[in-house]
Structure 1
Amino acid sequence: MMTIVRAKPDTAAVAAVDAARAALLEEVDAADVGAHLGHVVEGERLVTHLFACERAGYVGWRWSVTIARAPRQKTVTVDEVVLIPGDEAIVAPEWVPYRERIKPGDLSPGDLLPVEEDDPRLVPTYSFGDDPLDPDEQAQVRRVAQDLGLGRVRTLSLEGRELAAQRWYDGDGGPQAPLAQSAPDSCTTCGFLMRIAGPLSEMFGVCANGDANDDGRVVSLDHGCGAHSEVRLAKKHEPVPLPEPVVDTITLDDLEQF
């Protein structure tokens, strides 16, 4: 039996279990209603009675019947009858907006993924003062960027760079990847590492080894793999040399003599 007290309990409302069950049976079949599980004092002269739900597919759910008593009244009235999930109820997972569910690799040819105007990862390439919020000012920024030959209307903000750097560093191109953990040396000493420009150049480069798993991908300087330019096989791993060639001088006549 469960009793949750949030305010001073009203005796008449707490005792109105039969009235709550009767109101519930007017809405649902008797076979769907189980035992009385207790009550919750919602407020002054306001009590919610809970009943077990026996309906198939609703394990752990509860029927909730809210009872109220008006001031200076002896009888109670039913406010609402609803079905609510309990602690053990099976409920749908929390809704995640479609935009937040998209992961790298989900886009197919022809798919479009617009970026919000106020995306914190981007800032105007050229602006005066604070970022313009007025559409006319945004259009002016675009015209100025085009006139100056900057090409891009927006570029990465500091937050955008930090998010990208953290994502790359924690991913398959970072130092914690299994490939890097067993590598003989790091990318910073590899001849196939292509340096990049900009603020992230001190942490990342691009792999240009066509035989490596990371070819064409961003890798951290402390990443690594077995295709390092300076890697050498140990003698025990080197291929066994072939024997000296033997010239076969036996002719058919020689074979007939045998």
Structure 2
Amino acid sequence: MEITADHLLSNAIELARAAAIDEARASGLPYEGELVGEHLGVEVDGERFLTHLFRTGLSGYRDWRWAVTLTRADEDTSSEATVCDVVLLPGPDALLAPKWIPYHERIQAGDLTPGVIVPTSHDDARLTPGYAALPGDEELDMAQLLELGLGRERVLSAFGRDATSQRWYRGDFGPEAQMAKAAPLPCAACAFFIPMAGSMRSVFGVCANEISPADGHVVSIDHGCGAHSQAQVI
């Protein structure tokens, strides 16, 4: 059911304006022209409960408006309007601060420099408690799992491994890289290819050829480059 604006409250524009002026003066903020400008309208908040909007003259507050909320006790015409609240609210074209992004989400690959700490949250989906890891997934030493307090507190979860695999596979050292497409043979057949341990062994390894741009990087078995060990046997 739509609530209609209370007639007495709607007409109490000067009461609302005076309240806004008092608040503007008390703020001590600089302003241009009028402290409280033209009346922009009303917003009905409930039965005998509405908000008057006024343009503000405060410097730097483009399209902000004073919002003065009024109410009255009952429907009796002798019931006077009362000021409930006076606040500054942004309009549709107001200049606002960017949405806050947590620090750990702002840091991107390449941002990490010496001394910078990037904490991981306790509920990071990429990680799982060490005791919950499957030995086959992480090549864990069973003796470490049985001895309380030994081993890593957290390891990659299945989600973390999948996300990592996809990122590596689609990256500069995966099969779709221009270097790989022009290579004579894949990394899997190269003597400089060192397979990884654990569950990623079947897809990834590390390049050990100092001539290759992939030297020291994780490469997929179907990556490749011109420095393949079998490119030319001398």
Normalising by structure 2, we get a TM-score of 0.73
Q: Does 1:121 align with 2:117?
A: no
| Preserved contact between residue 204 and residue 221 of structure 1 (Cα < 8 Å) | yes
Amino acid at match of 1:124: P
Match of 1:17 among 13, 17, 24: 13
- In the TM superposition, residue 94 of structure 1 has moved relative to its aligned partner by 1.3
Classify the secondary structure of the residue corresponding to 1:88: coil
Match of 2:70 in 1: 67
User: Tell me, which stretches of 5 or more residues in structure 1 are unaligned?
Assistant: 129-142, 233-258
Residue 36 (structure 2) aligns with: 33
Letter in 2 for 1:45: R
- The residue aligned with 1:252 is none
Query: Higher relative contact order at CA 8 Å, sep ≥6: structure 1 or structure 2?
Result: 2
For the 8 Å contact 2:104–2:119, the answer to whether it is kept is no
**Deviation of the 1:158 alpha carbon:** 0.6
Distance 1:224 1:144, change over 3 A: closer
Query: Identity across aligned pairs (percent)?
Result: 48
C-alpha contact (below 8 Å) 1:145/1:152 kept by paired residues: no
1:82-115 Cα deviation digits (max 9, x unpaired): 1111111111111122222223343443454454
2:100 maps to which of 95, 101, 104:
95
Query: Are residues 198 and 49 of structure 1, via their aligned partners in 2, closer, same or farther at CA, if it must alter by over 3 Å?
Result: same
The equivalent of 1:8 in structure 2 is 4
Deviation sequence 1:21-75 (CA, Å, 0-9, x none): 1211122257232222221111111111111223221112121111112213432
Q: Work out the CA distance in 1 between the residues paired with 2:147 and 2:196.
A: 27
Deviates more, 1:223-232 or 1:202-211: 223-232
Q: Which has the larger Rg?
A: 1
Shift, 1:230, TM fit? 5.9
3-state SS of 2:165 partner: helix
Looking at structure 2, the residues matched to 186 and 7 of structure 1 have their Cα atoms a distance apart, in angstroms, of 72
Aligned 8 A contact 1:6 1:41 in 2: no
Aligned mate of 1:53, from 48, 53, 56: 56
- In the other structure, the counterpart of 1:155 is 155
Question: For the residues of structure 1 that align with 2:154 and 2:166, how far apart are their CA atoms?
Answer: 21
> After superposition, where does 1:134-213 map in structure 2 within 5 Å?
145=145, 147=147, 151-175=151-175, 187-188=187-188, 190-213=190-213
1:209-228 map, 5 Å: 209-225=209-225, 227-228=227-228
How big is each residue's C-alpha offset from its partner over 1:201-248, in whole Å with a ceiling of 9 and x where there is no partner?
A: 33333233323333211233444555555668xxxxxxxxxxxxxxxx
Distance (Å, rounded) in 2 between the aligned partners of 1:53 and 1:230: 75
Classify the secondary structure of the residue corresponding to 2:131.
Answer: coil
Aligned to 2:140: none
Normalising by the residue count of structure 1, what TM-score does the alignment of the two structures yield? Answer: 0.67
**Number of matched pairs:** 214
Higher mean C-alpha displacement, 53-62 vs 37-46: 53-62
